[in-house]
Amino acid sequence: MERTNSLGSELSTGSRGQDTFSMSVVLSEAAGLEKSCDVYCVCTLRYAETGKDPATPRAMFAKTTQTCKTETIKKTDRPKWRKGKADFLIRDFSPGFYLELNLMSQKLLGSSLLGRGQVDLLEFFGQPYTDRWLPVRSKTNADAGSIRILTAIDTEVVRAFQARFKGSLATTSTIDSWPGGPGSVARDNLQPLSPAHRDGPPA
């Protein structure tokens, strides 16, 4: 199943097998950068080990490392990517897994980190499609802008998730809402943004 969003990108809801399902992730754009540079973004599926949970990425996922990377957009403070799409294979609704987004500046000899953000993977399972801005912070914990991320999963997965967690879908999120801009108002990210909030931050 596929859906075309307002940016013209195709979001595939993937398929659900006996043991796994896929979540489609699109890294769409970024805003609020301090200055123009050559920018790309990397999104990685990670597991926050607690020492008590025996689950590991190898046991939970078909791949031990799953990453989505965009192309580099040169000399801009508002990059809009066309190639930042990947399908992450997921086996369960277990907590502890999250998406880490790294906003990077391409240099002549290597790359440097502009900002980093993360969000709990469970927050994407409550609805088939999400369209959100994730604030990122620099190494000194300063505001480094925001990244727009879109996700899609099969409706059967959403039903299974809702049946398992019933009415307790509200969670505390690291993602903030629009239209006030990055860091403005915290919200329940399992509720969809209205169309008026999906066009991105003010110029």
Which parts of the chain have pLDDT scores under 70? 1-19, 49-64, 167-203
**Tokens 């994407």 identify what position?**
124
pLDDT for 162 equals 87
CA 184 to chain CA mean position, Å = 18
Shortest CA distance to 92 belongs to which of 16, 196, 199, 192?
16
The 8-class DSSP code of residue 165 comes to H
pLDDT digits (tens, 9 = 90+) for 69-99: 999 999 999 999 999 999 998 877 877 888 9
pLDDT for 31 equals 97
Cis ω before 179 (30° cut-off from 0):
yes
pLDDT digits (tens, 9 = 90+) for 148-176: 999 999 999 999 888 887 755 544 333 33
